[in-house]
Amino acid sequence: MNFTKMHGIGNDYVYVDGFKQTLKDPNAFSEFISDRHFGIGSDGLVIILPSEIADFRMRMFNADGSEGKMCGNATRCIGKFVYETGYTDKKNISLETLSGIKYLTLTVEDGKVVYVEVDMGKAILSPQDIPVISDQETFINTPISIDNEIYYGTCVSMGNPHVVVYCEDVDLLSLESIGPKFEFNPLFPERINTEFVQIIDDSTVKMRVWERGSGETWACGTGACAVAVSCVLNGYCKINEEITVKLRGGDLKITYKEDGTVLMKGPATKVFDGTIEYEEA
């Protein structure tokens, strides 16, 4: 199986060209290649495919083999992949995902894609659509009980579910301990991605993320978008203004617009091409 290893500020995936290769069981393949000791090592698998309703289509799988609806960092890498491999010469690309069509704008220098802005669509705030079990109209700064301790969370969906929790110093957190307790909390029927956020100023925040199915990752694009939305809703940042979200792997620039749309800007990096021996069952 031929593949390309790419990352968006450290959120690394194995990318398979679905125009040329077919996987019968992508769930098992994702679990196999994601292992950092026995496989390639990644946060999961992304398959790039043709689409009947957009320029391209993506499927993404977490490290545990479960399929996700969206990955913001992967959308940027796909933009780089399809442009640099010659599948398109357009700098404005539509991409079909399980959470709808996303629109990419490529910044190209010397034939290489160095930066991608993604129109991530509108943030979803209704608890039943996120989903989170709640009879409120929104889930903003709402108490959540974890191990008899109360945390205050804001829930946002960017095509996949997120809960944003504020703290004084994200570097002091033991994510391996607290992350799974949010992910598998019965409050979240489809599990949850959890962002722990430290406010730097009214246009800069710092976050760490525990992703459902993958654990702590160095970056999460949809998570950064959810954080920006939450920061505006909680009065930490301003609507229509660019917010710098600092992640372990680098920075993303997020704008939460007045119409509810979220824009994400960030780099995409190719690491290497390779071939791995894999026999499907």
Question: pLDDT tens digits, residue range 205-245?
Answer: 999 999 999 999 999 999 999 999 999 999 999 999 999 99
Chain mean position to CA 62:
11
Q: Are 176 and 208 in contact (CB under 8 A)?
A: no
With beta carbons less than 8 A apart as the criterion, state whether 62 and 43 touch: yes
Predicted local distance difference test score (pLDDT) of residue 76: 97
pLDDT value of residue 280? 82
CB atoms within 10 A of CB 9: 24
pLDDT-based confidence at residue 281 (cuts at 50, 70, 90): confident
State the DSSP H helix or E strand holding residue 83, giving kind and residue range, or none if neither: helix 72-84
Mean pLDDT, range 11-40, rounded to an integer: 97
Q: Annotated catalytic, 220?
A: yes
Confidence band, pLDDT 50/70/90 cuts, at residue 64: very high
The reply to whether omega before 180 is within 30° of 0 (cis) is no
Q: Structure tokens of 70?
A: 């969206």
Does the active-site annotation cover 155?
no
Residue 279 has what pLDDT? 86
C-alpha dihedral, 166 to 246 to 208 to 220, nearest 10° = 120
Q: Which residue has the tokens 């960030």?
A: 266
Of 71, 155, 231, 237, which one is the catalytic site residue? 71
Beta bridge partners of 270: 6
The per-residue pLDDT for 97 is 97
Global pTM reads 0.91
Q: What mean pLDDT comes out for the span 265-270?
A: 97
Beta carbons within 10 angstroms of residue 229's beta carbon: 28
CA distance 69 to 212: 12
Amino acid at 221: G
Catalytic: which of 220, 225, 231, 237? 220
Q: Are 232 and 245 in contact (CB under 8 A)?
A: no
